[in-house]
């Protein structure tokens, strides 16, 4: 079975979620090609060629792909799919993958499966629905299976050890429907939220953006990423790319510390697969305690400074 994986990258480095998707791809086929569509992204193509289990890297290098505009990239994927007859096309369920893949699927007249968390067989997959309150087992009857994959549900393959060939994709597709205007990326030295081993999230209980400093201090001690509930984002405490939940990022770290977060269904959808969950909340009836392995009923403004002090 020939499988195509669409690499997530920023033209410089291969995003780790790609490794999780390749792990999912290896469950359906052993002839795995990775598409790197970007601008001056040779380093990414080289990195993809080294990934264990990859047999071929397809490198589409053109200014039209620099910002991953779905209108342009979708056409490349569609022509590759038509030329090579892949059995499966996979992308990570990141904002880039979610933006691109349904466009590809519709152009190929295929019903995509989103956010796949398990591969049962080559045509049957599991995916969460209703904010993760139900897991559906779905069989695809389309000739090609088009899937976005929830990275946290698959252990990544090794980033070294492979020696795939790199093949340039000559076709350039500039759909002329969209153009890049600007980008405002949040800067952070901490590990990325979806890849961090420890995540500390603050909610409405943090009261304001300045108080998040306490969490950043704690995060630096634990080499953790800092997340937030929708309430904290909506209140303007922190930027939206920190949001964990059904409509934000899905994380599954070893340790998730929820601080001042009540634990609404939509938030739990983004973190309840974490290995160990700690809740710090002064309301002992908060729903977060129902999923927390360790709960501390106390004022976060006492607890966090104390933790900062005691975790030298």
Partner 1 sequence: MKILVPIKRVVDYNVKVRPNGDGSNVDLANVKMSMNPFCEIAVEEAVRLKEAGKATEVIVVSIGPAKAQEQIRAAMAIGADRGILIETDESLEPLAIAKCLKNVVEKESPEMVILGKQSIDGDNNQTGQMLAALCNWGQGTFASEVVLADGKLSVTREIDGGLQTVQLALPAVVTTDLRLNEPRYAKLPDIMKAKKKPLETIALADLGVDTKPRTQLLGVTPPPERSGGVKVADVDALIDKLKNEAKVI
Q: In this chain, which of 1, 42, 83, 135 binds partner 1, going by CB under 8 A?
A: 135
**In whole angstroms, what is the distance from residue 4 CA to residue 82 CA?**
12
Touching partner 1, residues 276-305 (CB under 8 A): 276-278, 284, 289, 291-298, 303
In the beta sheet, which residues pair with residue 35?
Answer: 6, 58
**In whole angstroms, what is the distance from residue 263 CA to residue 265 CA?**
7
Considering the complex, what minimum distance in angstroms separates the CB of residue 197 from partner 1? 8
Q: Which is nearer to partner 1, 162 or 270 (CB)?
A: 270
- Structure-token match 């969490």, residue found: 215
Touching partner 1, residues 103-132 (CB under 8 A): 103-107, 109-115, 124, 127-132
Q: In this chain, which of 230, 232, 244, 267 binds partner 1, going by CB under 8 A?
A: 230
* CB atoms closer than 10 angstroms to residue 204: 16
In order, the DSSP letters of 196-256 are: -SEEEEE-GGG-SSTTHHHHHHHHHHHT-EEEE-HHHHHTTSS-GGGBBSTTSB----SEE
Span from 22-30, 137-145, 154-162, 207-215 in contact with partner 1 (CB under 8 A): 137-145
Site string for partner 1, 153-192 (x = CB under 8 A): ----------------------xxxxxxxxxxxx------
Q: Check residue 42 for interaction with partner 1 (CB under 8 A).
A: no
Considering the complex, what minimum distance in angstroms separates the CB of residue 49 from partner 1? 24
Q: Check residue 63 for interaction with partner 1 (CB under 8 A).
A: no
Which residues touch 300 (CB under 8 Å, ≥6 apart)?
205, 206, 259, 260, 280, 281, 282
Q: In this chain, which of 199, 233, 261, 300 binds partner 1, going by CB under 8 A?
A: 233
């Amino acid at each position: 079975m020939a499988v195509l994986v669409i690499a997530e990258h920023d033209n410089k480095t291969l995003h780790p979620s790609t490794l999780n998707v390749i792990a999912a791809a290896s469950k359906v086929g052993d002839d795995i090609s990775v598409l790197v569509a970007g601008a001056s992204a040779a380093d990414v193509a080289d990195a993809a060629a080294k990934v264990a289990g990859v047999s071929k890297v397809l490198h589409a290098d053109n200014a039209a792909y620099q910002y991953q505009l779905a209108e342009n990239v979708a056409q490349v994927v569609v022509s590759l799919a038509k030329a090579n007859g892949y059995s499966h096309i996979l992308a990570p369920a990141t904002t880039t993958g979610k933006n691109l893949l349904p466009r590809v699927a519709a152009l190929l007249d295929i019903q995509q499966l989103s956010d796949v968390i398990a591969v049962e067989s080559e045509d049957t997959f599991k995916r969460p629905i209703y904010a993760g309150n139900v897991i559906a087992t779905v069989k695809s009857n389309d000739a090609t299976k088009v899937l976005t994959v929830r990275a946290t549900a698959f252990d990544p393959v090794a980033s070294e050890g492979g020696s795939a060939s790199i093949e340039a994709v000559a076709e350039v597709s500039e759909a002329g429907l969209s153009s890049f205007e600007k980008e405002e990326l949040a800067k952070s030295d901490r590990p990325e939220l979806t890849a961090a081993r420890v995540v500390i999230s603050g909610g409405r209980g943090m009261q304001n953006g300045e108080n998040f400093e306490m969490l950043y201090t704690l995060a630096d001690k634990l080499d953790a990423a800092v997340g937030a509930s929708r309430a904290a984002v909506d209140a303007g405490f922190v930027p939206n790319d920190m949001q964990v939940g059904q409509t934000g990022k899905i994380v599954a770290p070893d340790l998730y510390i929820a601080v001042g977060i009540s634990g609404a269904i939509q938030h739990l959808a983004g973190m309840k697969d974490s290995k160990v969950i700690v809740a710090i909340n002064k309301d002992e009836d908060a729903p977060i305690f129902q999923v927390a392995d360790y709960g501390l009923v106390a004022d976060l403004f006492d607890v966090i400074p104390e933790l900062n002090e005691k975790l030298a």
